[in-house]
Structure 1
């Protein structure tokens, strides 16, 4: 090849190379331009579109509420259960016109005025920038859905499901809801749960016992009774799950999960059959009965009548029904067994008699004459006995047997209020018993110091006189009298009453038994003093002139019921090895021996014969 041809080929190849470089640069510039244009469209032109689309998939942390523990009676009967319930919930941000939506819903599902009002109230509190502080918004779902209607029937669920596509922003949700299968039976002991309120949230902020973060995603909390007292044990521990959700909030993927820990189950000392038997026995009366196992302090029954259905409160009671319960003259919402404070009347006479023996003011067989009244020296006022003609000669045994007021007027006066107060408080009068349900009242055992502090005046001797028969300022609850009676039957062993027998952890398969607590022991100077008081109680029922066999003090049929005395009776059985101690009060029941005593007898017979067949209810019953 000549030199000239070689030079030409070299120049040609160089030109080709330059063209290729130019083409490559042009392609790179074109590609860069495409990228820039694409980025412009993504970041500027279609910014809103892709911003919305990117929000369609979100990572959300959701709470998994725990399953609440169950409650069983001493025989394994289920008292408090959890059942699947369907609710209709609204996501406000997804609904253009909420009022119009509700109106359309009412054509297929009944929505009451109270349900609408509750929804509107929750709707106000769901707004993050309105008056309610953010710290009171408990769950992640607070901005997502608000319950409009709870406990839909199967028919309502079906009707809504068919037309669900017409209601954007309305969801059908299932969850476990508390259910009390026995209805009103045992409600004053069991209590109930209700929806978590703003008041509950504030309480959580101030409480050292309840962890507010453990209630994220939860709807319910114990309000009264055992449900409230054992809230920490029953509630369980909240779990969490990390999920991806789309724009509708629908979960598309679960990224991580920590399961919740279910609450612990409670096993009670209460015999629900006995409880129901007593409630049926009392019927429409305003009354209370407490039955205790003396040896242990186990509460066998705790009855307050009238009662109410706790299921009404679980998802929010309607205003009309609540006001009817609240304003009823029979006060069904009041737990008379632990909160009813009444003058104990003649039920205190065995205890006052023991005080007389203990302080040496009376000997067991020392006689006192009862002319039908007692009068302080230098005073004209007469403190009348219920038996106008008097009982004649009385010692401690016969005074308890015949319920002689004069004997105890004189004994109380000789003891004085200071010694009387000191001795009676040893049996728990004037003190809370410490039972494991909230709201207990402590009654009142008056003293000089109390009256001076409360009323700013001195104590008068006449007030001591009537305290000897459980009148005047003295007040006691049915529970206190049941505990005092059990202590007497135990010959001084005072046990703290308790309703729960065991707390069962189903996960760990461990059952923690609640150990009975002996609060104190009353030691008398002579052990046989107990037998004198108990012997008098036995004679009340079986003595020839026992007060239970005597005529009524007055004819209650001639007195309006609201003006009649309250009817009290205390008892225990059997005599030697007590298995049950009972206190009964019937408000405005008149004579206790005719109204309350038959109830006490039936309660003890039912328990001893039906629930404890190895023990016979014979003539030793007290």
Structure 2
């Protein structure tokens, strides 16, 4: 017989078991949920709150306005202007490629511009405004504004753009800015400055723009925006305004700079003019030059190829990066070395037959000239090579090296520009380190002879020659050459950067300096530079030089028979006025021939522009002061009479 009661009891037991198991599972699940809620609400509350805030906010960088660059009189060399640009917020664009294709039908977008834009999008944030195209014309801006509804996320904005109003004038000094490259980003990251360049598209690449980048750039600002779930900005939560870069006031005199550049005409070369009393660079020429405006928005391939492949090498910063033999402009320093080291006094005469023999080798004077009996004074006035050929073995190359080093020859001066080369001031030690084989490492007596007239292994920058001339002019005081005089912040506060005291002072006998100065003064009066400096209302001192590039191998130099780029360099060094120098100058004209023919006339024009203009300004200031004093006296005289009349 079937037992219904037993079956029902079993079913009831199974049901209860299932109920308990289900209840346990429910309770376990509720416990897990409770624990998870505790973790979320209590343990991870702060972190999740910050994540939520980040999801609802976007932090946008605000690029600072770059500082301007002006000359010593306030004339602008680099400035900023507002340009219409197209900015894109990637978070607001659904299909970037489709948008770029459609926008290209409205506004001209070059392939290079699109490539650069995509690279910046990959490196930037989704909510950051990224420039797609700059320098839109008014017509392009108006046309896009009419079509803007078709392009959500693309905005027409105004942005600061760098401009160089002087064009090619002083381009190697000012330099230029260019788009930030991967190498720039890596360097900024290594210095810890990458965060300060969020939102910035350009960075200094050459010249003052590069050397003083940290001061010119300023500090980036930030703005926190509340955004929707779709990334659309709703309102500003917090803003820190950017701090503009500082304006730099250079020591350069733009009027003098223009005169110097125009004096070169079609010639290639370099010129540096320094104030001997403080090391300020007054003029700095590297010819040919280039237009820095080409680089601001990214130089096109054709322009870059033209600059990069030119035989004249316009991108070479000649005064600090080009090294040259300086020929006879080295002789005043060699003569001073002979006096200071006690190797020869100024009155000692040697016979100059037009050559000097050492062993089986004959070293000739330039142009095969012969001067008979010459002392130190006349050796500089007529530029006798033989006098210095004979002096070289008496001094020796190492002693010559040690004497020249404090003048700055063969040393980086530390000027506030990048790319300066040290050049070569030869010595026995230098040659051992520069060459590999024992035969090459050996120093020969004939090499000392060549070095004494600025040839041989000597390879100096024109800045080094100008700096050494400045030290010679001011009695041995060495001021480091510099281009930045002071910096001005947004409040108009000016902070001077240069130092007033010399870096060091050379221990030179004043009577020895007088001997050299007197000879250099006669060079411009009756010597090799007399034609260039005829009729000057001031007393200049200087030395011409001609540096040989082509080995004649004992033959006679014929200019017309040699390729133009193998002809001699033309040089001049000097200072003025003689008694109280306010300008020291070094000039090199590549393949210009005799120093007296090409370099010296350029130096004369620059000295005239500086000294005569300065005298004119002082006279005008004096006349203005005298006129003011006269007016005050007249007013003082008239006042009692006026009062008496009133009574």
TM-score, normalization: structure 2?
0.79
| Cα separation, 1, equivalents of 2:496 and 2:563 | 51
Counterpart position of 2:513: 530
Shift of 1:145: 5.1
User: Conserved in 1, the CA contact under 8 Å of 2:568 and 2:592?
Assistant: yes
Residues 59/99 of structure 1: CA separation in 2 closer, same or farther (3 Å cut): closer
Pairing of 1:182-581 with structure 2 (within 5 A): 182-207=166-191, 211-246=193-228, 251-376=233-358, 379-456=359-436, 457-507=441-491, 509-516=493-500, 518-524=502-508, 526-543=509-526, 556-581=559-584
* Runs of 4+, deviation exceeding 4 Å: 54-57, 90-104, 143-146, 246-250, 544-555
Equivalent in the alignment of 2:634? none
Deviation at 1:156, TM superposition (A): 1.3
Equivalent-residue separation in structure 1 for 2:373 and 2:531 (angstroms): 19
SS in 2 for 1:604: helix
Distance 2:115 2:332 in 1: 59
- Residues 181-213 of structure 1, C-alpha deviation per residue, up to 9 Å, x if partnerless? 111211111111122221111111223xx6222
Task: Tell me the equivalent position of 1:140.
Answer: 125
Match of 2:65 in 1: 67
Structure-1 separation of matches of 2:309 and 2:419:
20
**1:360: Cα distance to partner?**
1.1
RMSD: 2.6
Shift of 1:214: 1.5
After superposition, the C-alpha distances for 1:79-112 in whole angstroms (9 at most, x for unaligned) are 1111111222445666576566545444443333
CA contact (8 A) 1:140 1:217 kept: no
1:119 to 114, 123, 138: 114
Superposed, 1:169-180 pairs within 5 Å as 169-180=153-164
1:88 lines up with 2:86 in the alignment: yes
Q: Structure 2 CA distance, aligned partners of 1:103 and 1:373?
A: 76
For normalisation by structure 1, the TM-score amounts to: 0.82
**Which residue is equivalent to 1:29?**
none
Residue 514 of structure 1: how far off its partner (Å) = 2.3
Whole-angstrom CA distance in 1 between matches of 2:232 and 2:262: 50
Deviations 1:329-381 (A, max 9, x none): 111111101111001111100000000111111111110111111111xx221
Cα shift at 1:120: 2.0
SS at match of 1:451: helix
Deviation of the 1:509 alpha carbon:
2.6
Larger mean CA deviation between 570-579 and 529-538 belongs to 529-538
Residue by residue over 1:573-622, the C-alpha shift from the partner in whole angstroms, topping out at 9 and shown as x without a partner, is 10000011111111111111100000000000011112443689xxxxxx
Cα separation, 2, equivalents of 1:545 and 1:171: 67
8 Å contact 1:540–1:548 — kept in the other structure? Answer: no
The answer to whether the Cα contact below 8 Å between 1:496 and 1:517 also exists between their aligned partners in 2 is no
* Cα pair distance change 1:247/1:288, threshold 3 Å: farther
Local SS of the residue matching 2:584: strand
